[in-house]
A and B are shown apart, each in its own frame.
Chain A
Amino acid sequence: MINEIKKPEPIKYYIVRNNENKIMAYGVVGQNQQMQTGQPIMDTYLNEIDWQNVLLEEGIELEEEGSHGFAGVNYQNFKV
């Protein structure tokens, strides 16, 4: 089964996981986007803070950096 978010209004945040509940991807889908995942589990969020808190609980820290990054978000856990 393919999980999908298509042209959401308002925008939606997502976290997808594999069968071991490991986070495989996360992000935000804008109003002119569609997102699909081949992973079995997808949680969606309307509130960015709720989404960030779940990621934080899993050790994924997002860094705000003004105009840079999509939706003002940089992904600090990905190092250079």
Chain B
Amino acid sequence: MANNINFGKIYDSTWWGVGVTSNTINWGKSYLDLAGGGDERFIITVKTDNAGTSATNQFTIPTNGTGYNYDITTSDGQTILANTEDTTIEFPTAGTYDVFISGSFPQCYFNNVGDAQKLLDIKNFGIYALGSTSQERAFFGCSNMVISATDIGHFENVTSFFLAWRDCSSLTSFPLLDTSSGDNFAFAWRDCSSLTSFPLLDTSSGNNFGYAWRDCSSLTSFPLLDTSSGISFFQAWQDCSSLTSFPLLDTSSGISFFQAWLSCSSLTSFPANAFDTNIATNYTDSFNTTNLSTQSIDDILVSLVASGVLNGTFNQSGGQAPSATGQNAITTLLGRGWTIATTA
């Protein structure tokens, strides 16, 4: 691929790089990917005078561990080459700047500290996460961040998304990243309180969904994710207070549903047969402070009977009480050693 590209027109330098002086751009090296078309740089927008630990005219790129060898260019014309760890960029004045990262950059590591609140936008994933197996705590605490990127980066080998996007409270949507290798989604989107929808990510390898969507209080729907490998659903959807219904997920491998839907205060409808093949005994506080209809609480209790499990615990409060159908199911469950609390 040639380094000299005649675009026919001059593109906005804040997006396509610096040094645009004519219709021919000398990139030094090409940032266009081999598939042809996409920009392979990881591109972010930062606001230096938001709260953070660096100075009001600085931004620190947070890294974690090894595997980094990255070059930086900035929208104000700086170039910082061959970085292998955290890098603090100093700008002439406080303001909003684009930062372009190329090379090897496995993950950000904001971890709810540092300059997390200075990150405003992921404009392009590009090389981000290439070769990475962990995105733990990557964007944790980036509460002002949106993702306008239309590409999906390189998340295909990532196994742990633990705390990856926790407290990203400005996200209203989430991209369809390749999460097919992910086994740990614990806390991944907790407190993403502005998400109104969630994409149909590939979560088929996930075994830990504990706290994953807790406090996603603006979610009005939830997709039919593949959760069939999930073992822990501990508080997974707690306080998703705008959910009114829930899909028929396969949670048959789950062991803990402790407080899983606790305080989903708008949750009226829950599917029948949801737990028919489940092995779990722990549904403690799972449906407390919900708004389940009589049909839904009946369906849940009948489904627990269908599971055939002994000595379990189940709690519901709020919403409607079970009908005679639900009461009959309770009688059967009590005979199997269950402890059941429901709305009366």
Q: Please tell me if B50 contacts chain A, counting CB pairs below 8 Å.
A: no
- Provide the A27-69 mask, 1 if CB < 8 A to any CB of B, else 0: 1011011111111000000000000000000000000000011
- Provide the A1-40 mask, 1 if CB < 8 A to any CB of B, else 0: 0100011000000001010000011010110111111110
Given known A33-B341, A36-B340, A39-B337, contact A70–B285 (CB-CB < 8 A): yes
> Would you list which residues of chain B between 207 and 242 have a CB under 8 Å from chain A?
208, 210-211, 232, 234, 238-239
Q: Could you say which interface size class chain B belongs to?
A: 35 or more
Q: A69 touches which one: B262, B317, B330 (CB < 8 A)?
A: B262
How far is B343's CA from A39's CA once the two chains are assembled, in angstroms?
20
Given known A69-B262, A78-B282, contact A33–B342 (CB-CB < 8 A): yes
Given known A37-B334, A39-B337, A80-B208, contact A32–B285 (CB-CB < 8 A): no
A-B interface pairs (CB < 8 A), number: 84
Asked if B285 and A35 make an inter-chain contact with CB atoms under 8 angstroms apart, the answer reads no
Say how far A36's CB is from chain B's closest CB, in angstroms. Answer: 6
Asked if B343 and A32 make an inter-chain contact with CB atoms under 8 angstroms apart, the answer reads yes
How far is B313's CA from A8's CA once the two chains are assembled, in angstroms?
19
Say how far B223's CB is from chain A's closest CB, in angstroms. Answer: 22
Q: A80 touches which one: B211, B316, B334 (CB < 8 A)?
A: B211
Say how far A26's CB is from chain B's closest CB, in angstroms. Answer: 8
Asked if B288 and A36 make an inter-chain contact with CB atoms under 8 angstroms apart, the answer reads no
How far is B330's CA from A6's CA once the two chains are assembled, in angstroms?
14
Say how far B35's CB is from chain A's closest CB, in angstroms. Answer: 38
Q: B342 touches which one: A18, A24, A34, A69 (CB < 8 A)?
A: A34
> In the complex, which residue of chain B has the Cβ closest to the Cβ of A14?
B339
> Would you list which residues of chain B between 224 and 273 have a CB under 8 Å from chain A?
232, 234, 238-239, 256, 258-259, 262-263
> Would you list which residues of chain B between 295 and 344 have a CB under 8 Å from chain A?
311, 313, 315-317, 330, 333-344
Q: Please tell me if B104 contacts chain A, counting CB pairs below 8 Å.
A: no
How far is B336's CA from A35's CA once the two chains are assembled, in angstroms?
15
Asked if B311 and A24 make an inter-chain contact with CB atoms under 8 angstroms apart, the answer reads yes
Asked if B337 and A32 make an inter-chain contact with CB atoms under 8 angstroms apart, the answer reads no
Given known A70-B289, A70-B317, A80-B208, contact A38–B339 (CB-CB < 8 A): yes
List, in ascending order, chain B residues with CB within 8 A of A32's CB: 317, 343-344
Q: B341 touches which one: A18, A35, A74, A80 (CB < 8 A)?
A: A35
Q: Please tell me if B284 contacts chain A, counting CB pairs below 8 Å.
A: yes
Asked if B239 and A68 make an inter-chain contact with CB atoms under 8 angstroms apart, the answer reads yes
Q: Please tell me if B146 contacts chain A, counting CB pairs below 8 Å.
A: no
A-B contact pairs, 25 of them (CB 8 A): A24-B339, A27-B285, A27-B313, A27-B315, A27-B341, A32-B343, A34-B344, A35-B339, A35-B341, A36-B330, A36-B339, A36-B340, A37-B340, A38-B338, A38-B339, A70-B285, A70-B317, A74-B259, A75-B258, A75-B259, A75-B285, A78-B234, A79-B234, A80-B211, A80-B232
Q: What residues make up the interface of A, taking CB atoms closer than 8 Å to B? A: 2, 6-7, 16, 18, 24-25, 27, 29-30, 32-39, 68-70, 74-75, 78-80
Q: Which 10 A-B pairs have the closest CB atoms?
A: A80-B210, A25-B339, A38-B334, A37-B339, A35-B341, A34-B344, A25-B313, A38-B337, A70-B288, A78-B258
